[in-house]
Structure formats: structure tokens, C-alpha cells
Structure 1
Amino acid sequence: MLGKYPVFPPTDSDFLDQPRGDRYDVVVIGGGGGGYHGAFELSNGGYSVLLVDDKGNLGGNCLYEGCVPSKSVSVMVYLLERLRGLMRGVGNDSVGQVRLVWENLVDHKDNVQYIRYLQHIREVKEHENVDFVRGVAEVLDNHRVRVRAVDGSWEKTVEGKYLLVATGSVPIRIPVPGSELAIGSQELFGYKTSYRKVPSGVVVIGGGYIGVEVASVLSGLGVKVTIVEMLPRILSGWDQDVVSQIENKLRSRGVEIVTNSKVVEIREEGGEKVVVYEGPSGARGYVKGSEVIMAVGRKPNVEGLDRLGIVDRGHVDVGASMRTRVPNIYAAGDVIGRYMLYHAAVKESVVASWNIMHGNPVYEVNFNAIPMTIFTEPEAAMVGLSEDVARARGINYVTVSYPLEDDAYAQIIGVRDGFVKLIIERESQRVIGGVVYGEAASMIINEIALAVAVNARVKDLALLPHAHPTIFESIDRAAIRFKV
């Protein structure tokens, strides 16, 4: 619920007052990636901006309970595993005695969040045309927005020539008996969370990237994890080679994966939580754990937006310019229901702001060049067209791959599992997609995304020298394997 958080992020006293003005060039609703980047661009362009967010700081759910804190935890597990692997490689098993305490991991991610929240306060103050307010915004029509204080101490209606809607998303909780027994990302990764002891065993409901990332982190700490997924396979929509690798890795860490199974009930029994699921035949089974984690995804937060006529099938409908069907209203971020990723929201927000300043929808987001990453151990990433999509579109394509076991940096760091795969349109030799599984996949994929965005040919990558020894050499090593 808006304005309701166990712990609010640090804020500034100036942000607690009601909006200073009555009219603004642009009213931005939401301080996440889809909101504040556009607000800053508009400010730099001389536009007066009211930016409203109920947390009283920037970063949205990504910083409060999502990508930043979860990555802060997972990177600590990653570093421990790298150290253990390197030491065992030279015959030293004593490093296996080194343990990470969950509470220490939570303290680390709290500190990272705090640093970024202070940074955001500074950034707001650096943009003098931005009036930032901690409040709850209610859209009255395509120009008027009612803003009220989180504590109800004031309320004010303002007008904007333009609106930028960036209300984000909310977690999905499946409607089954006992669903209130499950915890989610707010309990695990929320700012200053009171949940500070690692469970002995967990059942993760949902085999998408969020559920798989949580399973990877907890299993790395020795927690017994079971994933229950209703589809035939985890990570629906991902490259099948990647899915197979992640499944094998998770199982090697003791993770049980139950697919084709729909959760029908959660209950407490004998001090544990029991997840009851139903298979395709109707037969029921169950798994137990000390905790149940709900990770079935998120949905756009469109509450109160129906009156504007911009909502379609549960999301705000926009074109690549980020303009809605109402000419003076733009939208960006999770609320549009496309790539529900922070980095996508940022670019959508910037494009929206540029089009507002231009006066016409000139700029567009290249959705085909938005990379997706799974922060498992090791990581996985993909961008552009997958093989399945290319095949379905009748594209004559070819793939080239390079195994990371042959990469110098992967050998140095002690992680040789994985590959870099490029998907190439045969006739034009353009790079139309890419898949990476292994060390630093989240970094490697960005260069491939650039190649996709600029319609680079495979020989452009093959001829690009990368610094040695870095893992980016795997890109040109894959590209040079292309044969006409």
C-alpha cells in the first residue's frame, strides 16, 4: 500500500513539505528509475518539475527491496565461493571453514542502500528546477494531481502541463489459502528489514528469475531450497541452453525443482510451513520448509489510472515514444508492463522527457536492445532475438559460441563453466541476439546489446581487440568463428 513501509528510507526535511507551486511544466508520479531520471533531464532543460514519491527518496522498489539489495547480498556469496574455489584449486581446504552470517549480509546491503539514499538526496538538491515531495499522488485528470502527505498532515492539488506516470509495480501474491504465511522480497531485502536470520529450509514459489536468484543465493549458504513452478520448466522465455545449465547448477547445490505443479495451499504444521501443490493429473504433493518465499512476479501498479483512459489489460499503454493515447501524458517503467527492469525504466524515462521537451514524440526506446540478466551463480544474460523467436519469425540465422573454459580470465578467476553465444542473421551478417552464461555475464551482455542496437555485423565484433586478459575477449573469440 502506498505510503506504508516498515522502515522509510532516509529523507530530507525539505521533502516533507507540500509542493511549493500550484502549476508545473511536468508532474512526475514516482521516484523510481521510470521517474527521476526523466525529472532530472527535464530540470536540466529548464522545465519546472514536481516529483512525487511515497518513500521520500529515489530508487523505487529496485533500491528499497529489489535489484540493489539483492545483488549486495549475492555478491558477498559470490566472493566467498570464488575464494573457496581458488583455494581448493591449490589444495587448501581450510577456507571451507569460512562462513557468511546472514545478518552480516543484511548489514552490508543496508549500508549500500543507505549510501545510495544519501547520494539521491544530494542529486535532488543539485536539480533546482525539481520540487521533490514525499507524498501520495492521486491523478484527478490529465492535468490535475492531488498530493497528500504520507501522515495526512496536508493535501494540495497541483496542475501540470504534462504528466509522466511512473507508478511502478506491486508484487503478485497468488490467491490460495495460507498465502499470508509466505514472505517476499520486502522481508528478505527491504531497507532495514527486521528479518535477519537465515532460514534452515525454504520453499520458493515461482521459477522466474526472481525465484531462481533467491534459490541460488540461499543454496550458496547451505540452505535447503525447493522451487515449485507451475510451468513445465523454470525461466520461461529464456534460452534453453541457459536454462539447462542453471537447472544443473542449482541441483548440484541441492536445490529441488518441482515443475508442472500449481500451488493450491500453504499451511503451518509441526513448526514448519507446508506448500501443497497439484500436478497436471490432479494428484497432490507437498514440500516443507521453515519459510515460504512468494516469487511469482510483479504487476503494473495502475491503481487510479483508469479514469485517464490510458490503461489497457492491466498496464499503461504506450508506444516506443513513451506517449500514451492522451497526448500530454507519458509513462515509463514497470507500469507499462514491458521489460520490468530498472535499466529499461531509466531509458524509457529519458526518452519520455526528451519527447516532452521536443514537443513531439521523436525519440524512441529500442526495446530489442534491452539486456536481461539473472544474477545466479554463475550469471546468465541475453539480449535481442532468441533462437526460438528468430525461428518463429522465419529468420535464416546461425549461431557461433565460445566456451569460457578456454578464456584466460575465466581460468584466472577459477570459473570456467559457461559460454558466449551470438545469434547472427546469415544474409546480412548482423548480430541480432546474444546469450551469455558464466562469469560476468551481466557485463559481457552490454557490449552485445550495443552491437544489436547499432546493427553491427559479426565481423565488427571479430575485429574488435579486447584487453587481455579480460573476459570480454570471449566476444571476439565467438565472433571470429563465424563462417560465411
Structure 2
Amino acid sequence: MLGKYGVFPPTDPEFEDPPKLDKYDVIVVGGGGGGYHGAFQLSAGGYRVLMVDDKGNLGGNCLYEGCIPSKSVFYMVYLAERLRRLAKRSAGAAEVKAIWEEAVDHKDEVQYLRYLQHIREIKEHGNVDFVKGVARVLDGRRVEVTAVDGSWRKTVEGSRLLLATGSVAVRLPIPGAELAIGSEELFGYRTKRRTLPREVVVIGGGYIGVEVASAMASAGAKVTVVEMLPRIMSGWDSSIVSMIEGALKGRGVEILTNSRVTAIREESGQKVVEFQRPDGSKGTVAGEEVVMAVGRKPYVEGLEALGIVEKGRVVADSSMSTKAPGVYAAGDVLGKYMLYHAAVKESTVAAWNIMMGRPVYEVNFNAIPLTLFTEPEAAMVGISEDEARARGIPYVAVQYPLEDDSYAQIVGVREGWVKLIVERESQRIIGGSVYGEAASMIINEIALAVAVNARVRDLALLAHAHPTIFESIDRAAVRFSL
């Protein structure tokens, strides 16, 4: 629910005042990645902007409970695991428990640091009026803004609207759903849950569930993943999924696929998850804690009247324009690429097109990378091998094993590979995937190659600094031959 948080982020007293003006050039609804990047671009372009967010700060769910805090925890857990592996020693139960608690403290510090940074950034953009409040869109021009505590209410008008209302976590409509926790309880700002459960059941085998399962298992918990589909990580390259499954099982994670959760109940001090298989057979699995990670859905409440919502999401074209005149949208509310870095580019493109007065710029959705922050990491961009085969695209896949990479050897994470998908006739890079050390970083260079239609020889001839993990890209590229 908007305006309802266990702990609000730090804010500035002036952000709690009503909007200063009655009319603005642009009203931005939402201060996450889909909102504030565009607002800052518009401010730099001389536009007077009102930005409204119920948290009283920037970053949206990504900073409050998602990308930033979760990766802060994961990084510390995996770093500790890696150091133990390099030193060839094991950790006792007390040490492992302390690592998780220290990681939660670390993520609080990172969140606080970034919230203070965002307050400074807002003040640096003088054309932006930022208001802590709940926005209700009345029509294509008017927005009603209400204080979080209900102490004031004001209706303002904007020549343009940029809708960046984000998304909310999905909760299964099953008995006992309230017994499960989610990202907010695990990683929310100043969360009260600071210790690692001994046994955890994760409902959902998508990227959020898999990341949580991997980190908790690395920190010493006994983890079971329950997924309703035949395989975890639906939509990912099958070769990557196989590696991820192996890594999880190597950490003792049990994976139950084709298992649809039907209920959660408490019994003998534990939480019991009930599930049913396609053949009608039933089963249960119990744990000290249950994490529900079955995805997120666009937050479209109040937007239906604009005629831009279809199948539970706002529809916009690649220029970020909706069919409502003067109304743009960006971020998770589109239900397309529900990723912070995608939202940032969508927001920027929306702002640029508002300033141009017509659709000039477009988001290249084919070049948006997907990342998985497990240990090792995984990432992919563009067209996968599975997709190329399904679409009948003549291609060549070239692959370099990271076990031969000097940097991977130095840091002790030799599993995995870098793979490039090359269109046979044009020799363009049309996709790529990485499983291994720093996959989330390597994939960005491959994404750039996809975005600019680079040919495989362009990467083969690019000299990467030695010894860095990025050498694996040109080592893969030089293996191409017709």
C-alpha cells in the first residue's frame, strides 16, 4: 500500500511540503529509476518538473528492498565464501551466522549512503520540485497529491505526465500466504529481520528466488526451492540454467519443479508448504521461514481511466509514449523489462522525446542485459541460442571457457564460459551469454556490441587489459570461423 512502510527512508523537511506551483511543464509520478532520471534530464533542459514519491526519497523499490540492498548482502556472503575457499578453510556455524548479520548491517549502510546522495542530487536540480506524497492521476493533465500523513491535499496540472509508478510483489492467493515473507522483510530499509533462518523454503524459481536461495545456502541455511514450472529460470538460455541448477545443488539446495504451491500452514514451530504436482500427487516441505518470490506486477491502480492499461500493465511504444496524448510511461509499470537499468533508459528516452516535442529516440530493448547475482554470476543479452534456433536464424556460437582465463584463476572462480552468438551471414553479434566470474560486468560490453551492430572481428581485435576478466570476450571472438 502506498505510503505504508515499516521504516521510511531519510528525507528532507522541505520535501514534505505541498507542491509549490499549480502548473508544471511535466509531472513525474514515482521517484524510482523510471522517474527521477527523466526528471533530472528535463530539469537540465529548463523544464519545470514536479516529482512525487510516497517514500520521500529516490530509488524506488530497487533501493528500498530490491537490487541495491540484496546485492549488498549477497556480495558480502559470497566474498566471505570466496576468501574461505582461497584460504582452503571452512567456517564454523557461529562465523557463518555472523556473516549474514554483518551483511544486513552493511546493506543498511549502503542504503543510507545512497539516500543521502539522492537528497543532494534533488537539491542540485533546481527545476525539480520533489514532494513526499501519494499521487492520484485524475486525467491526462491533472494529478492530486496528498501528504502521506493526510495533513494536506493539492491538485496540480502538468502539460505532460511521466508515469513511473513501478510494481508490487505478487502474493499467491492461497491459504496461509500471510505466513510468508518477501523482499521487504529480508532486505527492506532497517529491516527487523537480521538473522539467517536455519531452514528456508523459497517459493518461486525465477531470478529473485534463485538469488535468495543461492545466498542463503552459501551463508549456511538449508534451502528448498519450490517451482511450479518444469524448470527454474524460465526464459533463460538452457545452457545457463543447467549450470545454475548444478551450482545450487552443489550448495545443498533442493529444487522441486512441477510443484504448484497450494497452501502454507504452521505446525510444530515450523512453516509447512503444501504443493501439488501435475499428476495430482501432493507433497509438503517445511522450514523455519518461507520466502515468497513469485514475481512482481505493474502498479496500475488509478491509471485505467486514461485508457492506457491492457492486461494489467501500461502500454507504451519504444518512444515511451502511450496512446493518451501527452502521457508517457517508464519502468516496471510497463510490465516489460522489469529491471532498474531498463527503467533508467526508458525514463531518459521519455524525457528526451518530451523535450524534442516528437518521438525521435527509442529504447533498444534487444540490447538490455539480464543478470543473475548468484555465485558464480550469470547474464545474457540479445538473442540466445534457443531463440535463434526457434526463429530459424543461421548463427554460429563461439565460446571461451573461463577455466583458462587468468583473472578467473587469480580469484579462484574458474567455472563457466563466455559465449557470443554471431549471425552467420553478416557476422554481427546478435546475442551473448556469460556464466562465471563478473558475468554482470562482462555482459555490458556484449550488450554494446549488440546495440551498435558490431561484428565479431571488432571484438576479436579489441585489446583488453591483462589480466582482467574482459579478455575472455576477445578470446571467444577470435574463435569464430565460417
TM interval, short-chain normalised:
over 0.9
Residue by residue over 1:305-348, the C-alpha shift from the partner in whole angstroms, topping out at 9 and shown as x without a partner, is 00000101111000000000012000000000111000000000
Counterpart for residue 59 of structure 1:
59
Letter in 1 for 2:360: V
Q: SS at 1:251's partner residue?
A: helix
Counterpart for residue 437 of structure 2:
439
Counterpart for residue 292 of structure 1:
290
Separation of aligned partners in 2, 1:416 and 1:104:
27
| Cα distance change of structure 1 residues 18 and 244 upon mapping to structure 2, 3 Å threshold | same
Counterpart for residue 27 of structure 2:
27
* Shift, 1:96, TM fit: 9.7
Counterpart for residue 316 of structure 1:
314
* Shift, 1:102, TM fit: 2.5
Counterpart for residue 38 of structure 2:
38
Corresponding residue pairs, total: 481
Counterpart for residue 103 of structure 2:
105
Separation of aligned partners in 2, 1:323 and 1:391:
33
Q: CA RMSD in A?
A: 1.1
Separation of aligned partners in 2, 1:102 and 1:81:
11
Q: Is the 8 A contact 2:321 2:350 kept in 1?
A: yes
Q: SS at 1:318's partner residue?
A: coil
Equivalence map 1:447-462=2 (5 Å): 447-462=445-460
Q: Is the 8 A contact 2:140 2:325 kept in 1?
A: no
Q: Which runs of 5+ in 1 are unaligned?
A: none
Separation of aligned partners in 2, 1:146 and 1:348:
24
Equivalence map 1:61-460=2 (5 Å): 61-88=61-88, 98-99=95-96, 100-460=98-458
Q: Is the 8 A contact 2:238 2:386 kept in 1?
A: no
* Shift, 1:47, TM fit: 0.1
Q: Is the 8 A contact 2:77 2:99 kept in 1?
A: no
Letter in 1 for 2:221: V
TM-score normalised according to structure 2 size: 0.99
Segments of 4+ moved more than 4 angstroms: 92-98
Taking only the aligned residue pairs, the percentage that are identical comes to: 72
Separation of aligned partners in 2, 1:397 and 1:326:
41
Q: Which runs of 5+ in 2 are unaligned?
A: none
Separation of aligned partners in 2, 1:32 and 1:386:
30
* Shift, 1:387, TM fit: 1.3
Residue by residue over 1:191-248, the C-alpha shift from the partner in whole angstroms, topping out at 9 and shown as x without a partner, is 0001112111010000000000000110001100000000000000001111011101
Q: Is the 8 A contact 1:273 1:290 kept in 2?
A: yes
Letter in 2 for 1:53: D
Q: Is the 8 A contact 1:45 1:357 kept in 2?
A: yes
Letter in 2 for 1:77: V
Residue by residue over 1:421-468, the C-alpha shift from the partner in whole angstroms, topping out at 9 and shown as x without a partner, is 000100000000000000000000000000000000001000001000
Separation of aligned partners in 2, 1:181 and 1:96:
27
Q: SS at 2:133's partner residue?
A: strand
Q: Is the 8 A contact 1:87 1:95 kept in 2?
A: no
Q: Is the 8 A contact 1:172 1:299 kept in 2?
A: yes
Q: Is the 8 A contact 2:201 2:285 kept in 1?
A: yes
Q: SS at 1:6's partner residue?
A: coil
TM-score normalised according to structure 1 size: 0.98
Residue by residue over 1:102-129, the C-alpha shift from the partner in whole angstroms, topping out at 9 and shown as x without a partner, is 2221111000000000000000000000
